[in-house]
Amino acid sequence: MTARRLAAILGFLGVALGAFGAHGLKSHLANGDPDFAVRALEWWRTATIYHLAHALAILATTGSDADRAPSASDWSFTAGIAIFCGSLYAMSLGAPTWFGAVTPFGGLALLAGWALLLRRG
């Protein structure tokens, strides 16, 4: 797997999940608690923004080297997307709110990705 393919997969998923949040999630939440629906849509929006931003970060670092293997920062961004965004997506779909306890670990993985990127220079 190349870094560009990884970015493409993550970007594709980010757009698809963003579209679901904008269209499908709203109707899914319509018959439930309106306060939860507002929180869930905000969690989903936040997850989508971070998801897409970090997919683009991976893409931006590939430069002209289309065949570059994913770097440590790329994998850290990927872990951050899975944990940070994944926990927010899950809570939006009704997972217990204790999933929020793992969200900061995903944030740390995203921060580590930026630190690793800085180190790469």
Convert 24-80 into a string of H (helix), E (strand) and C (coil).
HHHHHHCCCCHHHHHHHHHHHHHHHHHHHHHHHHHHHHHCCCCCCCCCHHHHHHHHH
Query: Taking the complete model, does pTM exceed 0.85, yes or no?
Result: yes
What per-residue confidence (pLDDT) applies to 48? 98
Rounded Cα distance between 85 and 93, Å, is 12
pLDDT tens sequence for the chain (121 residues): 999 999 999 999 999 999 999 889 988 887 888 999 999 999 999 999 999 999 999 999 988 887 899 999 999 999 999 999 999 999 999 999 999 999 999 999 999 999 999 987 6
Give the Cα separation of 60 and 77 in Å (integer).
13
